[in-house]
Structure 1
Amino acid sequence: MRAVRIHEPGGPEQLRYEEVPDPLIERPGQVKVAIRAAGVNPVDTKVRQKGPMFAEGLPFIPGCDAAGEIVEVGEGVTERAVGDRIFFCHGGLGSAPGTYAEFAVLDAARTRPLPDSVDFETAAAAPLVAITAWESLFDRARLQAGQTLLVHAGAGGVGHVAIQLARLQGARVATTVGSRNHLGFVAGLGAEEIIVYTERDFVDATLAWTEGRGVEVALDTVGGATWRRTVEAVAYYGDLVTLLDPGEVDLTEARTRNLRLSFELMLTPQLRGLTEALDHQGEILDQCARWLASGELRVELAESLALEQVVEAHRRLESGGMQGKLILRP
């Protein structure tokens, strides 16, 4: 099969589109999937830059989420059949091969049924960002109806899904964007207060929107100085969730406000083999699939590129300003 592999950490040029052996079903419970579309995520660029997260070594196939059709089932598989349309988040970190490939083999339990009305590209774009947004808002921050939420980078992959999940929960949403070009997009998703952070200070704007109280929940997708300043935009006894390492920080103000600080890394169950957490993520995907089918949730596709254009895909993602998700087509 054709796949993309990383032989040495580094820049986008380290992504090699090449012929590799087809993956084989090696144990009971596995299925082989013909990948029709694969999502491109910031974590893919990080493992490309730094190398695999496991000690098995190089080379490895990156890519964490995908959608496709089952073409073979292993012994003991009863919940899936050849021809089933599925989507999933699995592999790509250096242990199990990832999704930048024509085929993948994984446990059937890690695949989720895909409604016929949801196309493969949309489904491939959803798993990592949907699970990240869900766990951040509902599992970490316990977002409730009527609460106020600040989402950073609302036009990005996680951000634009988080806005929609919050609105489905009945929360009110403010978001930051880097350009006026994104105003209509995030407004259409349900954002009530939209802050172009290059034109307005997001802390001042958030406090004005909440009449000085601050938001009950903030989701930081940027890290660093943005995380540190976001503390000032959160209400006393509120929640601040970050997807990134904020670095060296002074926690005095966060402590004074009695904030609940949380980290979100949706890859932890895969990295640490946490079966119950993986099952929970499957349930999240099941619900998101229902919302995608009903039109209550949308995943924005920035562009769909052929798998052999993977170098260009990584360059575009790392250039910033992306609205929605990039997709690769094997």
Structure 2
Amino acid sequence: MKAILMTAAGAPNVLQLADVNEPTIQSPTEILVRLRAAGINPIDTKLRSRGTFQPDRLPSILGCDGAGIVEAIGADVTKFKVGDAVYFCNGGLGSHQGNYAELTTIDEKFAAHKPQSLSFEEAAAAPLVLLTAWEALYDRGRLDASASAHVLIHAGAGGVGHVAIQLAKLRGAKVATTIGSEAKARFVRGVGADLAIAYKQTDFVEAAIAWTNGEGVSLAFDTVGGKLIEQTFPAVQVYGDIITILEPPADISWKVARTRNLRFSFELMLTPMLLGRVDLQVHQSNILTECAQLFDSGKLKIHVSEVFQLADATKAHQLLETGSITGKLVLTI
């Protein structure tokens, strides 16, 4: 089969199109999927540049997100049949083959039926960002429909951000988000944001405080990292929540967060895969099943900015690393 191999850690040109052996079903609960599309995420570019979690297994196939058609099933598979369309976040970290390929295998417990209303490219763009936003807001942030929350989401036009806006609105929250251009302001308003803060011209803390009548937001969700984590502390109300998907810098000052008694949480949706926690991977597939219903009922949408051919994975990585993407990038296979 055709696949994109990461031959070494380095620049995007370490990604090479190659012929490799087709994967085969190794356990009775696995399914073989003919991939139709693979999502591209920042974790892919980070692993490519610094090395996978299993560096001794190079060359490696990247790509956590996938969508395709079930081509064969193990003897004990009950959830899917041949011909079913599926989507999932699995593999691509170095231990199990990723989805920049024509075929892959996955345990049936970790896959979900593809939303009928989405193309394969849209479906492949969705899993990682859906799970990240869902876990951050609903699990870590305990966002409740009865709370009338005010939520600040950084980089709302990004892959995680634009999904997080929608999930927050589904729980009845008022949503503010930071954006870098008028085009992105229009985009985030289109997915439900109540307030678009042009952070290059406006102090987002002052804007958030004014928006909440001096209180601060009840929950802030950081998808950018760096010093922005610390800069966000004063925008959060006393006893509020702040959640980040990035590691805080070593020189961060926690004084404001401590004084305001903020609850700080990390969100890493890769944890179940990294730790081999089957129970948590099953939980994530259940989230994808619930999200499929939201897509098909028109309550949720995913924005694909650009679709690349499999052979153009290098170009896709180069574009993603510019940091200015609206929504998601996808490989079509």
Q: TM-score, normalised by structure 1?
A: 0.98
Report the secondary structure of 2:123's partner residue. helix
- C-alpha displacement at 1:52, in angstroms? 0.9
Q: Distance in 1 between matches of 2:78 and 2:136?
A: 33
- C-alpha displacement at 1:65, in angstroms? 0.6
Contact 1:56 1:95 in 2 (8 A): no
> Aligned partner of 2:275: which letter?
R
Q: Are 1:81 and 2:84 counterparts?
A: no
Q: Distance in 1 between matches of 2:120 and 2:139?
A: 27
Greater shift, 154-163 or 241-250, is seen at 241-250
Root mean square deviation, CA, Å: 0.9
Q: Which residue of 2 aligns with 1:184?
A: 186
Q: Distance in 2 between matches of 1:57 and 1:26?
A: 18
Q: Which residue of 2 aligns with 1:3?
A: 3
The verdict on how the C-alpha distance between 1:112 and 1:196 changes in structure 2, with shifts beyond 3 A counting, is same
Q: Which residue of 1 aligns with 2:230?
A: 228
Report the secondary structure of 2:57's partner residue. coil
Q: Which residue of 1 aligns with 2:18?
A: 18
- C-alpha displacement at 1:231, in angstroms? 0.6
Greater shift, 111-120 or 93-102, is seen at 111-120
Q: Which residue of 1 aligns with 2:207?
A: 205
- C-alpha displacement at 1:56, in angstroms? 4.4
Contact 2:305 2:329 in 1 (8 A): yes
Q: Are 1:151 and 2:153 counterparts?
A: yes
Deviations 1:154-198 (A, max 9, x none): 000000000000001100000001111111110111111110111
Q: Distance in 2 between matches of 1:226 and 1:306?
A: 35
Q: Distance in 2 between matches of 1:246 and 1:161?
A: 23
> Aligned partner of 1:304: which letter?
V
Q: Which residue of 1 aligns with 2:264?
A: 261
Which of structure 1's runs of 4+ aligned residues deviate more than 3 A?
A: none
Q: Distance in 1 between matches of 2:130 and 2:116?
A: 19
Report the secondary structure of 1:319's partner residue. coil
Q: Which residue of 2 aligns with 1:273?
A: 276
Q: Distance in 1 between matches of 2:220 and 2:309?
A: 36
Q: Distance in 2 between matches of 1:269 and 1:55?
A: 19
Report the secondary structure of 1:269's partner residue. helix
Q: Distance in 1 between matches of 2:297 and 2:324?
A: 29
Contact 2:218 2:241 in 1 (8 A): yes
Contact 2:33 2:105 in 1 (8 A): yes
> Aligned partner of 1:217: which letter?
L
- C-alpha displacement at 1:320, in angstroms? 1.3
Q: Distance in 1 between matches of 2:79 and 2:214?
A: 52
- C-alpha displacement at 1:110, in angstroms? 1.1
- C-alpha displacement at 1:144, in angstroms? 2.1
Report the secondary structure of 2:321's partner residue. helix
Contact 2:110 2:284 in 1 (8 A): no
Q: Distance in 2 between matches of 1:316 and 1:288?
A: 28
Report the secondary structure of 2:138's partner residue. helix
Report the secondary structure of 1:49's partner residue. helix
- Percent of counterpart pairs with the same letter? 49
Contact 2:174 2:194 in 1 (8 A): yes
Report the secondary structure of 1:279's partner residue. helix
Q: Which runs of 5+ in 2 are unaligned?
A: none
Query: Pick from 122, 145, 166: which aligns with 1:164?
Result: 166
Report the secondary structure of 1:235's partner residue. strand
Query: Pick from 292, 308, 311: which aligns with 1:308?
Result: 311
Q: Are 1:174 and 2:208 counterparts?
A: no
Report the secondary structure of 2:197's partner residue. strand
Greater shift, 157-166 or 250-259, is seen at 250-259
Report the secondary structure of 1:47's partner residue. helix
Q: Distance in 2 between matches of 1:13 and 1:56?
A: 20
Report the secondary structure of 2:43's partner residue. helix
Q: Distance in 2 between matches of 1:108 and 1:55?
A: 27
Deviations 1:69-113 (A, max 9, x none): 000111211221110010010000000000000000111111101
> Aligned partner of 1:183: which letter?
A
- C-alpha displacement at 1:32, in angstroms? 0.5
